[in-house]
A and B are shown apart, each in its own frame.
Chain A
Amino acid sequence: MTYAFSSPRLLLSAGLLVWGGVVLAQPAPRSAPSPALPLTDLSAFQKPSANWRIAGEASASLNQANQLTGQPGAGVLVNIPVKAEFGQQYNLLTATEHGDADLELDFMIAKGSNSGVYLQGRYEVQLFDSWGVRNPKVVDNGSIYERWDENRPEGQKGYEGHAARQNASRAPGLWQNLKISFQAPRFDGSGKKTENAKMVRVELNGVLLHENLELSGPTRSAAFTDEKPTGPLMLQGDHGAVAFRNIKITAYGKPRPELTGLTYEVYKGKYEQEPTYAKLPPEAKGPITELSGAQNTLNNEFLIRYTGTLKVQEPGSYRFNLGVPGGGGVLRINNKPVIAKAEWSGNGTVDLPAGDLLFELIYSKFVDWVKPNLGLAVSGPGVREYTLTNPIADEDPTDPILVEASTNTLLRSFMDLPGTPATGVMGQNSRGAYRVTHAVSVGSPEQVHYTYDLDNGSVVQVWRGTFLDTTPMWNDRGDGSSRPTGMVQRFGRPALLLTPMGSDQTTWPTDTTGSHFRPKGYSLDEQDRPTFRYITYGAMVEDQLRVLDNGQGFRRELTVQNAAKPLFARLMSGNSIKPLENGLYVVDGNTYLRLDTADGTAPAIRTVGGKQELIVPVKSKLIYSILF
């Protein structure tokens, strides 16, 4: 049976595309993520102490230390220390043990509180109220906590530990997201450790904080002092109030399939159809120990066929990702196509039994400008994705062009809003995300930054940490865009902040039609901080954002002059807006808004089209703060 390789899809955009290095199998979505622990009760944990309970919702005070409350219901795990004492008995261990694993969870930390997530009960990623910290240390949120040795001299008992690359924390009382890829330590037959445990990846609120970080042993206050291939996950409960939800553990550690008895055959020629091999004399052939494009010395118009044995120990569903740059590929196992027709790349999922399986991989290359290469990656039941191939690396990577805001810094660029789909041709990037075309990003040495959309007079995102990656704009021709490099909070599709409202049910306008909106630019104060100006509905608006003390967020002050009609401001739109005390609101559990001064009447939360909106009338002055 033969397969036709289609002509390549030429993903050219006037030669703009940078074929950065190898077009290989992209890291796939990992094997189906495990479902979250069912937090209907505490049965997933070993002997929970009284400080742990199940709740339906959690909330924590922005201002009062260690104040966290749970509301009745299920789905949220809450820890409220009962006694002011430390002790392992207050920590929570899962009933199951893990070795290699991916962990994802949401957590909410109370003001001033301290907790931690211990992989295998031993290696801690610190959870801490690090709001306002500029240079995180090992005690800060997302850091790998230090190790501890009582036998060392005073002041040197703590050692190692790895500070987070930047502070990616949210404010206390907001939900934060943590993702960890962990690799367990390895041991030989005698139980001697042969490889250290490793944090393959740690992401806090979407920001990469650690990568391929080796840990020489358990960190301080671990549940165990020894190291083992597996252990339970531990959530620290003895240091302060914290809540968790959506805890997902994907366990790995099952044996990987192995390739043995590999041979290769190279056929010269342009094969858009798979040939009948028996009739063809190969250009070269022989046994190999490793799957790689390196055996082949032809640059183009060749077909290379690998055969061998795939030894599978763990039966189950396996997913293969194949990269065949500049051509087509086929993967067969036991003579059945797993990837029947890859064009440049492809993937396929197959149920494999345990045992020795026939492996056959074909790569036909016929697009002359592409460098030949080969990539095959696989993930399976309890098997984290790994590559079976050794890719050829012969192209230099690009140096990133990073902009730091060591002083108040402005930079205009296109700004993409991932997660916000584009509408029509206006404001669209190549991946269909909304692209703000008249964006200004404003960075501060306090490490809180925002992006302002001059087309609407709206704040489209705020973030903390490092400022901008301008590589997409300034490397080569560029696409005119830059990207925030810290912990970003986006506010959805940009829209006018101010508009007149016919009634309570007036839908908020999605564009500037009818507003005669005109941007007027900005002026800089003595510290180079901008005040934006625009005209909308005949009113002259001055719009100013200033960093709050300790970098907690921004204070926004609008001055409106000569409004022809009464104007309203939509301060926030979200799935849920909840009033707290003293003019404070929490939006979608991830942002606080505090109304400081409004000279109109009181604000209102309304629900329109399934969304909640916080709306306030504006006469001449509006001051509110965004805390995050």
Chain B
Amino acid sequence: MKSIQSYLLGISLLASALIPVRAQESPKEEDFFKILKVSAPEGTLLEVGGLTMLPNGDLGVATRRGDVWIVENPTSRKPYFRRFASGLHEILGLAYKDGALYCAQRGELTKMVDTNKDGKADLFETVYAWPLSGHYHEYSFGPKIAPDGGFFVTGNVAFGDEEWWRGESRVPYRGWTMKIYEDGRMEPWATGMRSPAGLGMINGDFFYADNQGDWQGSGGITHVQKGAFTGHPAGLKWTNLPGSPLKLTTEQLYARVGPRQDKNAAGKYIKPENVVNETPDFLFEAKKQIPDIKLPAVWLPHGILGISNAEIVEIPKGVFGPFSGQLLVSDQGMSKISRVFMEKVKGEFQGAAIEFRNGFQSGVLRMAWAPDGSLFAGETNRGWGSAGTANEGLQRLVWNGRLPFEMRAVRAMPDGFEVEFTKPVDRASAEDLASYKVESFTYKYHPVYGSPTVNKQTHALKGVKLSADGLKARVVVDNLRQNYIHQITLDGVRATEGSHSLVHPIAYYTLNNIPEGQKMALSETSTRNSATAAPAKKGTTPAAKPGAKVGATAKAAPGGKLLASAAPTYDEVKGLLSRHTCLACHNTEKRQVGPAYQAVAKRNYTNDQIVDLIYNPKPQNWPDYATEMPPMPQVPKADALKIAAWINSLSKADGAKAADKP
């Protein structure tokens, strides 16, 4: 008893010691959602590929090393780990059904049963085996269990030999979603998948998250109905096989969007690169001729809400307070979890994605809910790298019951958006149009690895109406663009309580459809805009944010020009690195998804060469890194030059004086 008391005492002391430091700032993620470790016997390697909660509260953990663990009392301080199975082939999913565990290995869906009741599986039944060519990238994910008891499993594409950048389906059904039944039947369900690592059953509907790459401009979550084509052409090779739910052929798709399989004078294939000055093609444009195409319900902008999206889970009833019923999507590369509010408009899912929690120790590949309402995060980054620098881990995300000031939901309106808050907002700030910013952009559909954000546009705001309870702001936006991602930034909105800013001030709404209905009369709205009305008045401008950490604009030097002689400091470029999503993959000193900036500095590029590489990266220069850098032509040249100058300053500081280390 005594030891528990002193332990509790220790916590409270620690907490009180921290409070004064943060008192002036708006609260952050970690003030509401704590990341706790799950203790495991020393040496237990938990490169988590699958997580599932058993009916008795035990946690099933499957690993890339081929083990399946049953963790008893997983939310306690002393969980008990029992090895249920071992020797399986790089497991990337785990599910429980009727007393058995099911997992996707590389080459099959396996049912594991403990028939002799000794706590270990002794029957490993092949439910269905699919062919593999033996390419390393042929990973398989799942299963997720459909309402009819069927199992959804997805398969990665392989890559070409000479065209090492091109995803290809060497054997059926790579690049597909398969629906498999207990009796061994397999129903080809949908194709267009490239690296479908994230699966989720949401109210009986199957969703998946893909990873950015060729033909996939950015990650996102897609509602996968039978016969859907989600964008990557590799799997179309097999639409002629019996049972295929779609008839779209590779040739038909390529006739619409060219694969750019061009050769140079020496007869070698040329890797397709982003073309900056072109009229880009879009998945939603291609859909007009190819109705099989299924657009992402919600895009998760690359580098902001992830670079390799993974598991999709629904927040259960009564869990995580105001966010119950919404979705969480984890990300491996950025070691984070994003939140998605989804609604159905004109019969299709769409919605808003918002940052939720960063800072996991490794890449969050899998998630599972504990009965106490906390969330297990199963983690691995081996071979890919991640913002969290540990190679593996099992952690737990726990809400402390305090209500964060967040956008609870964003809903599409015929003439704009309705933002719902978790706490009443300060009327003066919320009725000021200067507190809002709406921009829209989208991604290209092309055979190039990833896409820059393109066709970016800032929308004029016409008015805002705040509900009487201060919980909903209806923003009237000029010229909504169907199919575009609308980036809604609420830097200026303050909570009544503590005048806090939003924990996450930006929502990304994928506007696949604009709802019909009553438009708001501008007479009902506030059209006040402090920025235009009173341009120079200090103190009233919402742009002066006390605790802002996202969307910080770089401070322009006087006259808008940088002095060429002095390299900028980290503090001077931090905002740019954050805004242009560089920090999603790069750190100053440490290797993450991409090389450390110090390592880039050692290459002795000129500033102009670095700018060129930002616009047209050469991943072949960094063969030790798994994830290609996408082209970033959206970064303004002045910003890119400033970043380049800062990067190059690192090689000079290297070793001698680490002056501006973050």
Contact A520 B623 (CB under 8 A): no
Contact B603 A519 (CB under 8 A): no
Contact B106 A480 (CB under 8 A): yes
Cβ contacts under 8 Å, B86 to chain A: 409-411
Number of residues on chain A facing chain B (CB within 8 A)? 47
At the interface, yes or no: A10 with Cβ under 8 Å from chain B? yes
Tell me, rounded to whole Å, the shortest Cβ–Cβ distance linking A519 to chain B.
5
Cβ contacts under 8 Å, A478 to chain B: 90, 136, 383
At the interface, yes or no: B110 with Cβ under 8 Å from chain A? yes
- Stretch of B118-126, B200-208, B501-509 contacting A (4+ beta carbons < 8 Å): B118-126
Q: Mark A368-395, 1 if CB is under 8 A from B, else 0.
A: 1100000000000000000000000000
Contact B625 A15 (CB under 8 A): yes
Contact B129 A454 (CB under 8 A): yes
Contact (A15, B623) CB under 8 Å given A412-B66, A480-B89, A519-B126 = yes
Contact A524 B619 (CB under 8 A): no
Counting chain B residues whose Cβ lies within 8 A of the other chain, the interface size class is 35 or more
Which of A14, A437, A455, A526 contacts B164 (CB under 8 A)?
A: A14
Cβ contacts under 8 Å, A299 to chain B: 602-604
- Which residue, A15, A428, A476, has most C-beta atoms of chain B within 10 A? A15
Tell me, rounded to whole Å, the shortest Cβ–Cβ distance linking B62 to chain A.
13
Q: How many A-B Cβ pairs are below 8 Å?
A: 131
Q: Which residue of A lies closest to B168 (CB)?
A: A425
**Assembled-state Cα–Cα distance A523/B88 (Å):** 13
Tell me, rounded to whole Å, the shortest Cβ–Cβ distance linking B372 to chain A.
34
Interface positions, chain B 63-103, Cβ under 8 Å from A, are: 64-66, 86-90
Return the 3 tightest CB-CB contacts between A and B, nearest first: A477-B383, A410-B87, A435-B134
Tell me, rounded to whole Å, the shortest Cβ–Cβ distance linking A20 to chain B.
10
- Which residue, B107, B131, B136, B603, has most C-beta atoms of chain A within 10 A? B136
At the interface, yes or no: A94 with Cβ under 8 Å from chain B? no
Tell me, rounded to whole Å, the shortest Cβ–Cβ distance linking B400 to chain A.
37
Contact A437 B136 (CB under 8 A): no
Can you name 13 extra interface pairs (CB under 8 A) apart from A13-B164, A15-B623, A520-B125?
A12-B623, A15-B619, A411-B87, A412-B66, A414-B134, A425-B133, A429-B134, A454-B108, A481-B134, A518-B126, A518-B184, A521-B126, A525-B122
List, sorted by A's number, 19 A–B pairs whose CB atoms are closer than 8 Å: A12-B620, A13-B136, A14-B165, A15-B619, A15-B626, A18-B624, A19-B623, A299-B602, A369-B620, A369-B622, A412-B89, A426-B170, A429-B134, A438-B129, A454-B107, A454-B126, A480-B90, A518-B129, A521-B124
Contact A522 B129 (CB under 8 A): no
Contact A477 B134 (CB under 8 A): no
Contact B383 A476 (CB under 8 A): yes
At the interface, yes or no: B344 with Cβ under 8 Å from chain A? no
Q: Mark A3-41, 1 if CB is under 8 A from B, else 0.
A: 000000010111111110000000000000000000000
Contact A15 B628 (CB under 8 A): yes
Tell me, rounded to whole Å, the shortest Cβ–Cβ distance linking B103 to chain A.
11
Contact A12 B164 (CB under 8 A): yes
Q: Mark A521-537, 1 if CB is under 8 A from B, else 0.
A: 11111100000000000
**Assembled-state Cα–Cα distance A469/B123 (Å):** 26
Contact (A521, B131) CB under 8 Å given A440-B87, A476-B383, A477-B383 = no
At the interface, yes or no: A271 with Cβ under 8 Å from chain B? no
Contact B66 A437 (CB under 8 A): no
Q: Which residue of A lies closest to B121 (CB)?
A: A524
At the interface, yes or no: A479 with Cβ under 8 Å from chain B? yes
Cβ contacts under 8 Å, A521 to chain B: 110-111, 123-126
Cβ contacts under 8 Å, A19 to chain B: 623-624
**Assembled-state Cα–Cα distance A481/B384 (Å):** 18
Q: Mark A437-450, 1 if CB is under 8 A from B, else 0.
A: 11010000000000
Which of A12, A369, A477 contacts B384 (CB under 8 A)?
A: A477
Contact A476 B159 (CB under 8 A): no
At the interface, yes or no: A569 with Cβ under 8 Å from chain B? no
Contact B165 A438 (CB under 8 A): no
Contact B87 A523 (CB under 8 A): no
Tell me, rounded to whole Å, the shortest Cβ–Cβ distance linking B49 to chain A.
12
Contact A519 B626 (CB under 8 A): no
Q: Mark B621-642, 1 if CB is under 8 A from A, else 0.
A: 1111111100000000000000
- Which residue, A17, A520, A526, has most C-beta atoms of chain B within 10 A? A520
Q: Which residue of A lies closest to B111 (CB)?
A: A521
Q: Which residue of B lies closest to A472 (CB)?
A: B136
Cβ contacts under 8 Å, A480 to chain B: 89-90, 106, 134, 136, 138
**Assembled-state Cα–Cα distance A414/B65 (Å):** 13
Q: Which residue of A lies closest to B602 (CB)?
A: A299
Interface positions, chain B 472-516, Cβ under 8 Å from A, are: none
Cβ contacts under 8 Å, A474 to chain B: 64-65, 382
Contact A13 B122 (CB under 8 A): no
Q: Mark A449-476, 1 if CB is under 8 A from B, else 0.
A: 0000011000000000000000001101
Q: Mark B590-614, 1 if CB is under 8 A from A, else 0.
A: 0000000000001110000000000
At the interface, yes or no: A500 with Cβ under 8 Å from chain B? no
Tell me, rounded to whole Å, the shortest Cβ–Cβ distance linking B162 to chain A.
10
Interface positions, chain A 388-432, Cβ under 8 Å from B, are: 409-414, 425-429
Contact A522 B124 (CB under 8 A): yes
Interface positions, chain A 515-558, Cβ under 8 Å from B, are: 518-526
**Assembled-state Cα–Cα distance A12/B602 (Å):** 22
Contact B124 A427 (CB under 8 A): no
At the interface, yes or no: B137 with Cβ under 8 Å from chain A? yes
Cβ contacts under 8 Å, A369 to chain B: 603, 620-623
Q: Which residue of A lies closest to B133 (CB)?
A: A425
At the interface, yes or no: B171 with Cβ under 8 Å from chain A? yes
Cβ contacts under 8 Å, A429 to chain B: 134
Contact A412 B133 (CB under 8 A): no
Cβ contacts under 8 Å, B626 to chain A: 14-16, 477
Tell me, rounded to whole Å, the shortest Cβ–Cβ distance linking B169 to chain A.
10
**Assembled-state Cα–Cα distance A428/B170 (Å):** 11
- Which residue, A437, A524, A526, has most C-beta atoms of chain B within 10 A? A437
Contact (A427, B126) CB under 8 Å given A12-B164, A15-B625, A476-B383 = no
Which of A16, A18, A440, A523 contacts B123 (CB under 8 A)?
A: A523
Interface positions, chain A 572-596, Cβ under 8 Å from B, are: none
Interface positions, chain A 468-506, Cβ under 8 Å from B, are: 473-474, 476-481
Tell me, rounded to whole Å, the shortest Cβ–Cβ distance linking A432 to chain B.
11
Which of B126, B134, B620 contacts A437 (CB under 8 A)?
A: B134
Cβ contacts under 8 Å, B115 to chain A: 523
Contact B136 A16 (CB under 8 A): yes
Tell me, rounded to whole Å, the shortest Cβ–Cβ distance linking B128 to chain A.
9
Q: Mark B437-460, 1 if CB is under 8 A from A, else 0.
A: 000000000000000000000000
**Assembled-state Cα–Cα distance A213/B625 (Å):** 39
Which of A15, A300, A414, A427 contacts B622 (CB under 8 A)?
A: A15
At the interface, yes or no: B132 with Cβ under 8 Å from chain A? yes
Q: Which residue of A lies closest to B159 (CB)?
A: A14
**Assembled-state Cα–Cα distance A429/B131 (Å):** 15
Q: Which residue of A lies closest to B106 (CB)?
A: A480
Contact (A477, B382) CB under 8 Å given A425-B133, A521-B123 = yes
**Assembled-state Cα–Cα distance A414/B465 (Å):** 61
Which of B122, B124, B136, B138 contacts A477 (CB under 8 A)?
A: B136
Cβ contacts under 8 Å, B620 to chain A: 10, 12, 369
Tell me, rounded to whole Å, the shortest Cβ–Cβ distance linking A144 to chain B.
36
**Assembled-state Cα–Cα distance A521/B383 (Å):** 29
Tell me, rounded to whole Å, the shortest Cβ–Cβ distance linking B384 to chain A.
7
Q: Which residue of A lies closest to B136 (CB)?
A: A479
Contact A412 B129 (CB under 8 A): no
**Assembled-state Cα–Cα distance A12/B269 (Å):** 14
Contact B105 A426 (CB under 8 A): no
Contact (A13, B66) CB under 8 Å given A410-B87, A480-B89 = no
Contact B126 A368 (CB under 8 A): no
Interface positions, chain A 116-154, Cβ under 8 Å from B, are: none
Tell me, rounded to whole Å, the shortest Cβ–Cβ distance linking B659 to chain A.
24
Cβ contacts under 8 Å, B64 to chain A: 474
Tell me, rounded to whole Å, the shortest Cβ–Cβ distance linking A186 to chain B.
42
Q: Which residue of B lies closest to A429 (CB)?
A: B134
